[in-house]
Structure 1
Amino acid sequence: MNEFIDTHQQQLINSLICFIAFFIIRYLTAKAIHKIGRISDINRVRTKLIIRYITILFMAISFIVIVYIWQVNFEDLGIIFSSVFAVLGVALFASWSILSNITAGVILFFSFPFKIGDRIKILDGDFAEEVDILDIKAYHIYLKKDNGELLTYPNNLLLQKGVVLINRDDNDDTTEGDYI
């Protein structure tokens, strides 16, 4: 064990620096996203979801840095990753809309054109009614019609279709689970 530590001392130090940097950057980013969520009056559940996505991104970047620090042979690593990505590609091809809905959820979080409690009208030929926003999730948004009917609408369609904000509920007391 001592021989390993003596031989790879610089890589161990650099790896430790990478891990420390990961946790510091993740903490600062999470704090900034929480602040954006509070200032913009965004639901805490959505804020935590975005923090989870950012953490995954930082973990991937840290993994790449660790691979570089330890000078892993990219040809061997390439074979492993190509096999994994081939399997994931086939699996995700059938569910590409899930990825587009997650991406749309992140865009909706940072652009915050509407929030929970707002009344909107989606300009879609099949769906042209005014509805209230009950909750915004990673994949979809929960809407409530005037007759009490609950609808689930995909996030990516909110970015593709025109949405008219009828009125903003500035005194939003709605929390997750109030509609169930």
Structure 2
Amino acid sequence: MTLLDSDVYGRKLAARFATFDLDHDGTITVGDLEAMARRILERYELSEASAKGKALMAGARHYFAGLAEAADTDDDGVLTREEFIGAAGSRLRGNPDGFTDVIRPWAEAVVAVADVDGDGRVDLAEWTRMLRAMGATEAGAPVQARRVDTDGDGAVSVDEVVASAVSFYISDEPHDEFGEG
């Protein structure tokens, strides 16, 4: 257990680590982020070869590369729980610089997939469905969807998704977006 596990920030990062560690092997690899993207594509009945599928897979790889750049201290392409939490605490906590570029391609891709009716607007029901596809609990997803909609217009934009992710990593505030406690 690391020192960070004793505070809100450490606990929420440990929960995020568990969300990304899809194969439950105690590490995060590019394969875990790709598996999350594939799970989303499957739930939305989209092919990896589709434009949205390609963008989502590329976004997952970009997201992992950014996380690995910040956290992979031994440069082995694998993020341990300690590397992930330690890097978030030392490099991201209180410092949004650079993280926006890491998260934006993923945010753009998941918002595009979530816009199932193609109207260019992701309403709260569509975003709730996406959060569920990413692993949020049935109870947690609608709460977080409303939380991400910071302007209260009933829709979620890429900028709101990016801002929510940045806030998660830089803030000591609890964010129970996946219903993890």
TM-score, normalized by the shorter chain, greater than 0.5: no
**Structure with the larger strand share:** 1
More relative contact order, 1 or 2 (CA 8 Å, 6+ apart): 2
TM, length-normalised to structure 1? 0.29
- Structure index of larger Rg: 1
TM, length-normalised to structure 2? 0.29
